[in-house]
Structure 1
Amino acid sequence: MSYPGYPPSGYPTFPGYPPTGQESAYPPAGQYTYPAVPGGFPPMGGGAYPAAPPTGGFPGAAGYPPPGGYPPAPGGYPGAPQPGGMPAYPGGAGFGAPSNGSSFGYPQPPSQSYGGPVQIPAGYPGGQISTPIPPQPAAMTQSTQGTIRPAANFDAGRDAEILRKAMKGFGTDEQAIIDVVANRSSAQRQQIKTAFKTMYGKDLIKDLKSELSGNMEELILALFLPTTYYDAWSLRHAMKGAGTQESVLIEILCTRTNQEIREIVRCYNSEFGRDIEHDIRADTSGHFERLLVSMCQGNRDEVQTVDYQKAQADAQRLYQAGEGQLGTDESSFNMILATRSFPQLKATMDAYSQIANRDLLSSIDREFSGNVERGLKAILKCAQSRPAFFAERLYHAMKGAGTDDSALVRIVVTRSEIDLVQIKQMFTQMYQKTLGTMISSDTSGDYRRLLLAIVGQ
């Protein structure tokens, strides 16, 4: 039995086995990924480990699986992949289903291991390993995908003319505006703004604001703001005036890449003449303040390979900092969750579950409260699945009475060119309804039509 796309062609099937052409690095220096055996690692060709694979790949090499594929984990693979590569909702043990009290809050797509010890072919010492299969290199991982892509045969001047006609005279042709803005990338929209001012000597944003109102206005303006500026503006708006919108600070600062955060920090300073760290310190306090200050440094490790020894050590340290003692050492949680890469944190969560007999999210529930709890959990949920985190945010923005339209607009716009396709898939798996269906029931008019056009419904 084999699984689609696994293992990737030319990628080592077992942990730590040197890739073709790197057999001299056996075992990899400083990486104890083979199971330890008395007397240390056997020499190359010694027979205790499988022979090095022949040129052309691993299938058929001694001690490796036959061409039929990698042997299944006990209990089977939890959920077959869906079109586009996203796993189906597993529904099996260990994958907490939504709204059933699971501390995860959403299903965890299978990632590095398949639910149990992997049976190893004869010739590999130990018979089985419990270490997860190493993640694929970045080039081999599931790529994300936005619902909006750059339009072909793009003509900024033509689009500017369409928008001018849609707003000229009595009334506004909202459908013409929707047809343009929902089918152009953010970079193309910036070119349309420039062309509009060049052709008509008028500011497109001001003209749109004079023609639109309410949620439709907010959505259109969000689409025409440069992405980095929109994030910086959202953070400033969240801290400006009385009160603070902590959920916005968490959503942006705990989910963006290092490069995105650094650009946001620079934009915040240049556009608003303010230091974001100073504003965070003025508007928050305690361990939540420290977590956000750590986040706005943009210094998270982004290496995609996983060090399983470090994951085990970090899991042990987190256990001793929380469940394993009276009181909580918050600085240990801050240090590990603010600096480790997301794949590394995922491995740490797996190791923690084995040490503590409960998942790390549950322990954070027990050890923390308030905004710092929500911030730490946001980081861990992104480590598990960033699309699932945003799917959950969208669901709660529309769940129950009333709609958090600002959150709905912000997430749909900011993820529309990154991973909104995967967010939609996760939304359906988690809540048994499509994102488009929920948007349709919670919004109306031109606002609804534009949102649905962006999400591709």
Structure 2
Amino acid sequence: MWWGTLGTIRAYPSFHPEQDVKEIQSALEKKDAVTLVRILTNRTNVQRQVIASTFQEITDKDLSTTLKKVLSGDLQDLLLQLLMLPEHLEAQRLQQAMVGLGTDEETLLEVLCTRSGKRLQEISDAYKQRYKKDLEKELKAETSGDFAKLLVALLKKDNMTAAVHRDVQTLMVSLNGKKADAEPWINILTSREWDHLDKVLLGLELESGQSVEQVVEKQFSGDVRLGLRVLVQCIQGSDVFLAKRLATMKTSLVHGIMVSHSEEDLLRIRTTFLKLTGNSLYSALQNHFKGEHLQALLSICRAED
């Protein structure tokens, strides 16, 4: 953390894209995965974009397409994600969460709850560019009811000021009927700054005598309960939610979270992972993965805690 970021990947100080491309060309010819991993996991996304464009200029070939021909399996997937623009990676994760049979609600919530309104607009634009479809319409088509309203409200996050006490009372009133009214929860939890929401949630706990998660579990059901629970967890600390997701050691989740948070807050997530599981993320990766794929993940993780 001494270099001023909570990410594990920082700008490579002696960056020479032409030299990197030369080494990558040689590695691709020899199918040398070790060199590809060493370079691509030790450059920031901005630097990787420069490498990709330089590779295109020198070879007249697309780097991602060339990697697909040389690599396969989980290592291929991970390195291709590293080469994507951050907003395009998140757009891909959302699309994959909705494609095929069933919907991966937790991945939708992970992206929508942990990203700012500005970032989500960039992701929406990338989604339209990649898939020629409107993300909001896709979310509405794949979900329904209050859960769909929650997802759309998260996608269109807006920050407005409001009195903490008024918000607390509004949420308390929403719980008074035979069935809890989700709409005030959606409106408030997706349209306030998070430091304001921290105070609102604390006030709600004092008023109700229960944790907010307990209130949500008792008062709501189905997908909207899941959505509100994840949103509350992210407001209180997204690193806890993300560390729990990583603890599943599911390959797609490990890739998505580690790549997309590698330059932002993976150090914080690592610390939380250790507190939650009693095991470091570095060691957990060693226990679940192997080969060059493992080495790439360890390089992104960076160190033992």
Q: Tell me the TM-score normalised to structure 1 length.
A: 0.64
How far is 1:337 from its partner?
A: 1.0
Aligned to 1:450: 296
Offset at 1:298?
A: 3.2
Query: What secondary structure, in the 3-state scheme, does the structure 2 residue paired with 1:250 have?
Result: helix
**CA separation of 1:300 and 1:370: change in aligned 2, threshold 3 A:** farther
Aligned residue among 227, 246, 258 for 1:412: 258
2:18 alignment partner, one of 143, 154, 157: 157
Q: What SS does the corresponding residue of 1:145 show, helix, strand or coil?
A: coil
Q: 1:148 aligned to 2:9?
A: yes
Query: Which residue does the alignment assign to 1:373?
Result: 225
User: Post-superposition shift, 1:234?
Assistant: 1.4
Compare CA radii of gyration and give the structure with the larger one. Answer: 1
Distance 1:254 1:229, change over 3 A: same
1:265 aligns with 2:111: no
Matching residue of 2:149: 290
What stretches of structure 2 of length at least 5 have no aligned partner? none
The one of 416, 420, 423 equivalent to 2:269 is 423
Q: CA deviation at 1:235?
A: 1.2
1:212 aligns with 2:71: yes
Deviations 1:348-406 (A, max 9, x none): 111111111101111001112232222212221122112222112111x22xxxxx211
Paired amino acid for 1:439:
L
Give secondary structure in 2 for the equivalent of 1:202: coil
Q: How far does residue 199 in structure 1 lie from its aligned partner after superposition?
A: 1.0
Q: Which residue of 1 aligns with 2:45?
A: 186
Measure the CA separation in 1 of the matches of 2:41 and 2:97. 26
Question: Which amino acid in the other structure matches residue 165 of structure 2?
Answer: Q
Superposition misfits of 4+ residues, deviation over 4 angstroms? none
SS at match of 1:242: coil
Whether the aligned pair in 1 keeps the contact of 2:11 and 2:43 (CA below 8 Å) is yes
AA of the residue aligned to 1:293:
V
Structure whose residues are more often helix by fraction: 2
Q: Deviations over 1:105-138 (max 9, x none)?
A: xxxxxxxxxxxxxxxxxxxxxxxxxxxxxxxxxx
1:315 equivalent in alignment to 2:174: no
More displaced stretch, 409-418 vs 146-155: 146-155
Q: Output the TM-score relative to the length of structure 2.
A: 0.94
Matched, 1:432 2:293: no
| Bigger relative contact order (CA 8 A; separation at least 6) | 2
RMSD: 1.7
Q: Residue 339 of structure 1 aligns to a residue in which SS?
A: coil
Indicate yes or no: 2:188 matched with 1:329: no
Q: Per-residue deviation at 1:144?
A: 5.3
State the shift of 1:185 in Å.
0.2
Distance, in Å, in 1 between the alignment partners of 2:74 and 2:221 is 33
Summarize the Cα distance change of 1:144–1:383 in structure 2 as closer, same or farther, 3 Å threshold.
Answer: farther
Distance 2:219 2:5 in 1: 34
Distance 2:275 2:99 in 1: 37
- 1:248, CA displacement in angstroms? 1.5
Unaligned runs of 5+ in 1: 1-83, 86-142, 399-403
**Are 2:91 and 1:239 equivalent residues in the alignment?**
no
| C-alpha separation in 2, matches of 1:221 and 1:370 | 35
C-alpha displacement of 1:318: 1.3
Q: Which secondary structure does the structure 2 equivalent of 1:254 belong to? A: helix
Name 1:73's counterpart in structure 2.
Answer: none
